[in-house]
Copies of this chain bind each other. A is one copy, B any other.
């Protein structure tokens, strides 16, 4: 092991394993996670060539091979718990989505949720046994976020008892579904249902897209890969053009809505039933943000402990770059964020399970809050993580740009989370809609419960933009609960400002919709402040559960850094609202520097606690043993351009050039 990184570990002030258990949700979880990792990483069937050395087609090929193996092994080992399947998969395809993801995570669950018993009879076993390989085709070239705008049609033909499916325009071609291009032979197609001349809105249809024996496209179907992307190179995101494709009436998923043989449409009993999945997926993305950021911090901080550069003291040995204040200021707030997001991810998962328990008992009361929270936190955490990964990458100097660092891959595989499952700005506006609605309820005298209950207080206190001069003095910037309070008041104020902007626009005779659009900047800002408050609060609450003194101490420093860093980055908000005074903001800057020094000796141990297996990290810079340079050289020598000593282009172009000049 590299002596620098060994010394870092020796100097840690807390027991790393204890913290790992907290992050995993208990020692049992840590144990089981390590078991699954050992299972996958010791399995020769999952050995792979570094995808960075392969062509797109070879990458896809390798991913299909491993996915097929994975299906076999999961059954062999009897791994059936969804969480464990998910984790197993994340080891088989470390950090990368795979061609069968939509089959497992969308096609199969949609069947389970929306198929009638008869349909289950027909489709379930073939799907389970991979005779049917499915995907979920919703997004079109011209429509993503705004589902009502989808143009694909499924028109019922009573004469033949069939639906006729069409993508009538170029913009209606299905676009993006994972696994659609080359892998799937079936798709659940979301289309506007027409029957007897009426449109009944969007419904789901099972459409065979390729022949189950030959895998050739079915008649009327044009299907293929949408081409290379930023990341997702293992996945054949596809397009699907439908030209009078006929499927039996029984291929419409009819557990809820129905179409009778005579063309009569029967409405579903409730529209809220599909809400849950969306909330669940967004909660998962919050945890994925934490994971991506934990990986990036692990790489950047370990590398900063072994990389030496420049001089602080002339003539002295070059210091570890982790000793530079600027490097600490780049990385430690992100480390704190990785912890904050891990805890908010846990919180979201717990809240989801609690509320979905209520829902299954018919209690939908907390669903709107959960929906708003998951939308906002999905946007908040993915945006933060997205830019944070790049800060980590650039903090590694030139080597961060090498694919061997893994940081470019972490970025390109993560960044789509800002757009899929709900575009982030749209998500923030959905959260804002809930906040403004709650604000108005409070204004109308209703007592709010749950996480927005702070909007009652703002009514009670009647906050003004220039706040009471006396308030700042009561804030103790070294006290986390005091900081939670100022974050809360900031959120309350920004929600109020957004609501008032809408009101102002309405008074200027704007329509409700224009008033909303003309206040959108304020609305996004309010949602952002709300989410920020929730994250600071949950991190602070989490400290109350930590018994071990040493762990508690280092986590408290991280929580304080997270809260204080957010204040300096948004100091205008806090000053504008009169929540903090100018001297307090200056004090916060000074305290941040102290916290950086305080966290410095524990930095490596704090990333070690994420306990990310070297094979999962797959980074030359982030290796546990710190032997960076030797491995980088070894990796480079395997680069395909080094397969021959002299590249053919020398003989083809460079040598002949001489005689022409």
Stretch at the interface among A31-39, A259-267, A285-293, A412-420: A412-420
* Interface contact A423-B397, CB-CB below 8 Å: yes
- Contact in complex: A224, B642 (CB < 8 Å): yes
- Looking at the assembled complex, report how far the CB atom of A287 sits from the nearest CB atom of chain B, in whole angstroms: 21
Judge whether A143 is part of the interface by a CB distance below 8 angstroms: yes
Question: Does A585 sit at the interface, judged by CB under 8 A?
Answer: yes
Would you call B130 and A633 a contact (CB within 8 A)?
no
Query: Within A154-194, which residues are at the interface with B (CB < 8 Å)?
Result: 170-171, 173, 175-176, 181-183
Of the listed stretches A10-18, A513-521, A537-545, chain B binds A513-521
- CA of A146 to CA of B321, assembled, Å: 12
- Chain-B contact segment, one of A227-235, A275-283, A441-449, A548-556: A227-235
Nearest Cβ on chain B to A199's Cβ, whole angstroms: 14
A146 neighbours in B (Cβ, 8 Å): 309-311, 318
Tell me whether A640 is interfacial, beta carbon within 8 Å.
yes
Q: Which of A576-605 contact B (CB under 8 A)?
A: 576, 578, 582, 585-586, 589, 592-593
**How far apart are A625's CB and chain B's nearest CB, in angstroms?**
15
Chain B residues whose C-beta falls within 8 Å of the C-beta of A657 in the assembled complex: 68, 71-72, 130
A73 to B: closest C-beta gap in Å: 11
Known: A57-B647, A398-B419, A654-B68. A145 touches B225 (CB 8 A): no
When the two chains form their complex, are residues A55 and B53 in contact, meaning their CB atoms are under 8 A apart?
no
Contact A236 B641 (CB under 8 A): yes
User: By the criterion CB–CB under 8 Å, are A521 and B329 in contact?
Assistant: yes
Contact of A521 among B217, B593, B629 (CB under 8 A): B593
CA distance A426 to B521 in the complex (A): 35
The answer, yes or no, to whether A325 is at the interface (CB within 8 Å) is yes
| A403 interface residue (CB < 8 Å to B) | yes
Contacts known (A72-B660, A139-B398, A419-B394); A226 close to B636, Cβ less than 8 A: yes
- B130 A654 Cβ-Cβ under 8 A: yes
Q: Is A312 interfacial (CB 8 A cutoff)?
A: yes
Interface string of A411-433 (1 = CB under 8 A from B): 01001101110011110010000
- Are the CB atoms of B642 and A225 closer together than 8 Å? yes
* Min CB–CB distance A133 → chain B (angstroms): 7
Q: In the complex, what distance in Å separates the CA atom of A307 from the CA atom of B311?
A: 52
Residue of B nearest to A126 (CB): B658
Secondary structure class of chain A's binding surface, majority of residues:
helix
Q: Within the complex, what minimum Cβ distance (angstroms) separates A647 from chain B? A: 4
The answer to whether A257 has its CB under 8 Å from any CB of chain B is no
Verify A145–B309 contact, CB threshold 8 A: yes
**A311-B146, A572-B568, A652-B65 given as contacts; is B326 within 8 A of A639 (CB)?**
no
A selection of 17 A-B contacts at a CB cut-off of 8 Å is A52-B227, A64-B654, A68-B657, A144-B309, A182-B649, A215-B646, A217-B645, A227-B638, A227-B641, A326-B425, A327-B425, A387-B387, A387-B390, A390-B390, A394-B424, A570-B572, A572-B572
Binding site for B on A (CB under 8 A): 52-53, 55-57, 60-61, 64-65, 67-68, 71-72, 75, 128-131, 133, 139, 141-146, 148-149, 170-171, 173, 175-176, 181-183, 214-217, 224-232, 236, 239, 307-314, 318, 323-327, 329-330, 386-387, 390, 393-394, 397-398, 400-404, 408, 412, 415-416, 418-420, 423-426, 429, 465-466, 511, 513-514, 517-521, 524, 568, 570-576, 578, 582, 585-586, 589, 592-593, 629-630, 632-633, 635-642, 645-650, 652-658, 660-661
